[in-house]
């Protein structure tokens, strides 16, 4: 660690004397501390081989405690920042890496991404290099080094870019929705959130399938007849009294001023909940119980939610854990339980956060108007896993007058909108990382990207076909696409 301490110290503003204090339970993680004072300047993680895998620097902690400021240093040119970033990658990275993006975040920070390259097609390998955040004066704020062993497959590519685009365009890639603009609900076509690629054999593939990720499904909500009171769902106890004023319901306890619940209804735009009630760590409530309580709460607040929302189909993590446990021996399970109990005993009971913040599950409700989706009015409800009480909410309110005044006729068909969307895209060869037991395999696919940089379609007006683009942050891509005939 001594060598790493010296290397990290040289990266820090003012080069303060530091030491790395390894975590007792996880020695590959350490806090970067002042060598002489009880100050934490950041954290670092290393691999089993002792190579840095991540670095976080708390710049405010350094400047506030060392009589030094970033303002004392001159802002560097983009070329100088790139050179410093490349030196960092050469020192801490592995193999030949190239800059594939250079993004300016706000006025103070650059984000620079390095990746290994598929030299045959001159395309980057995602998650194969280093992600850096640097101040404009050239000091590192964070670094993530994703450098694992990988394998490249080179299937025969007979499919051209245009053929891949034709296959991609054969399916509908947009859907009808609506959003509030200029005090009106306007119908818009939005690109679907699914991520479709075309493999080099000419088949459409959902990217989630390749990555082994579960697709989020939304399901219908049955008619809800609340059987639990609002105060019960909020977790109100007998020692709490209610004060209601200007649409805000405040439950508080005279015995414990830190114990309160606020239900805000004054704002015509949304309903929110703030809750700070004690809890005991007991057996976690079943997810079906929590879901039922969330549904009842939303019904009491909004009403007729079966016709207004779809519910995100929650995956039960407990079932996944059980499947993983099936692969363990009884001795391994016993050891894991013992380690878990040991960690629980070592937790600091004085930490205020543990006394205040109850773990929760978030239920997501997708707002709809008939078959039209209204994503900006989606609702989110956090349910405490021990108390079953509503902990936090974001429930945007939809003005009924907007619904009445909404023009439902569309002059642009979904096929026309789909053509506008797909014509703005071109297919490029790309690599997709697939994790195996031992290493990452990069599959070769055609992936859609905007023809003109910075002109990625966000929505298309269903009334007149006007196209709105996502405002991309300006960035540079130094690598160039390979000029292959098959592309």
Confidence class for position 337, pLDDT limits 50, 70, 90? low
Confidence class for position 127, pLDDT limits 50, 70, 90? confident
* Distance of alpha carbon 186 from alpha carbon 168, whole angstroms: 28
CA dist list (Å): 316 to 288, 320, 361, 471: 9, 7, 11, 36
Confidence class for position 387, pLDDT limits 50, 70, 90? very high
Q: Which of 63, 72, 132, 65 is nearest to 97 (CA)?
A: 132
Rounded to the nearest integer, the mean pLDDT of the chain is 85
pLDDT of residue 51: 86
Q: Which of 301, 296, 285, 315 is nearest to 222 (CA)?
A: 296
pLDDT of residue 86: 95
Q: Which of 448, 461, 458, 374 is nearest to 417 (CA)?
A: 461
Percent of all residues in the chain with a pLDDT value above 90, rounded to a whole number: 60
Measured from the Cβ of residue 94, the count of other Cβ atoms closer than 10 Å reads 13
Residue scoring higher pLDDT (244 or 477): 244
pLDDT of residue 95: 80
* Distance of alpha carbon 376 from alpha carbon 245, whole angstroms: 28
Residue scoring higher pLDDT (436 or 286): 286
Residue scoring higher pLDDT (193 or 359): 359
Q: Which tokens hold the place of 281?
A: 């760590």
| Confidence check: pLDDT of 242 > 60 | yes
pLDDT of residue 182: 81
| Confidence check: pLDDT of 353 > 50 | no
pLDDT of residue 315: 56
* Distance of alpha carbon 192 from alpha carbon 418, whole angstroms: 10
| Confidence check: pLDDT of 323 > 60 | no
| Confidence check: pLDDT of 431 > 60 | yes
pLDDT of residue 356: 59
Please name the residue that has the structure tokens 């599950």. Answer: 361
Give the start-to-end residue ranges of the domains of the chain: 2-151, 219-323+355-405
Pick from 69-78, 304-313, 341-350, 420-429: least confident: 341-350
Confidence class for position 322, pLDDT limits 50, 70, 90? very low
Query: What's the mean pLDDT in 257-279?
Result: 87
Query: What's the mean pLDDT in 215-232?
Result: 91
Confidence class for position 47, pLDDT limits 50, 70, 90? confident
């Amino acid at each position: 660690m001594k060598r790493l301490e010296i290397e990290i110290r040289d990266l820090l503003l003012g080069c303060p004397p530091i030491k790395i204090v390894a975590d007792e339970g996880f020695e590959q993680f350490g806090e970067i501390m002042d060598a002489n004072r009880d100050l934490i300047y950041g954290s670092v993680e290393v691999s089993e081989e002792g190579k840095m895998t991540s670095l976080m620097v708390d710049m405010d902690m350094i400047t506030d405690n060392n009589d030094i400021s970033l303002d004392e240093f001159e802002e560097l040119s983009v070329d100088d920042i790139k050179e410093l970033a490349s030196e960092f990658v050469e020192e801490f990275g592995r193999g030949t890496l190239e800059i594939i993006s250079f993004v300016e975040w706000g006025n103070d920070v650059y984000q620079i991404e390095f990746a290994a390259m598929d030299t045959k097609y001159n395309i980057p390998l995602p998650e194969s290099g280093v992600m850096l955040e640097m101040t404009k004066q050239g000091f590192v704020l964070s670094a993530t080094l994703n450098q694992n062993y990988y394998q490249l497959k080179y299937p025969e590519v007979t499919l051209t870019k245009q053929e891949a685009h034709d296959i991609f365009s054969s399916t509908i890639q947009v859907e009808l929705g609506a959003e509030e603009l200029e005090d009106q609900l306007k119908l818009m076509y939005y690109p679907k959130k699914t991520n479709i690629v075309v493999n080099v054999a000419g088949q459409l593939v959902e990217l989630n399938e390749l990555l082994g990720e579960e697709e989020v499904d939304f399901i219908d909500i049955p008619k809800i007849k609340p059987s639990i009171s609002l105060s019960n769902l909020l977790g109100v106890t007998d020692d709490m009294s209610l004060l209601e004023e200007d649409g805000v319901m405040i439950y508080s306890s005279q015995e414990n001023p830190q114990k309160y619940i606020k239900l805000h209804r004054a704002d015509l735009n949304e309903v929110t909940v703030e809750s700070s009630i004690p809890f005991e760590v007991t057996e976690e409530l079943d997810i079906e119980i929590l879901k039922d309580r969330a549904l009842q709460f939303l019904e009491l607040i909004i009403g007729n939610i079966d016709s207004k929302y779809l519910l995100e189909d929650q995956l039960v993590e407990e079932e996944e854990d059980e499947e993983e446990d099936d692969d363990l021996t009884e001795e391994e399970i016993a050891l894991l339980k013992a380690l878990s109990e040991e960690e629980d005993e070592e937790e600091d009971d004085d930490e205020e956060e543990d006394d205040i913040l109850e773990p929760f599950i978030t239920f997501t409700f997708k707002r709809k108007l008939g078959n039209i989706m209204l994503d900006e009015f989606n609702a989110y409800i956090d349910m405490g896993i021990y108390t079953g009480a509503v902990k936090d909410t974001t429930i945007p309110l939809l003005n009924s007058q907007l619904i009445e005044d909404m023009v439902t006729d569309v002059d642009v068909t979904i096929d026309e909108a789909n053509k506008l969307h797909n014509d703005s895209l071109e297919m490029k060869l790309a690599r997709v990382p697939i994790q195996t037991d031992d290493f990452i395999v990069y599959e070769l696919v055609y992936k859609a990207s905007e023809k003109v940089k910075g002109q990625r379609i966000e929505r298309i007006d269903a009334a007149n076909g006007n196209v709105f683009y996502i405002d991309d942050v300006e960035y540079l891509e130094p690598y160039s696409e390979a000029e292959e005939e098959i592309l």
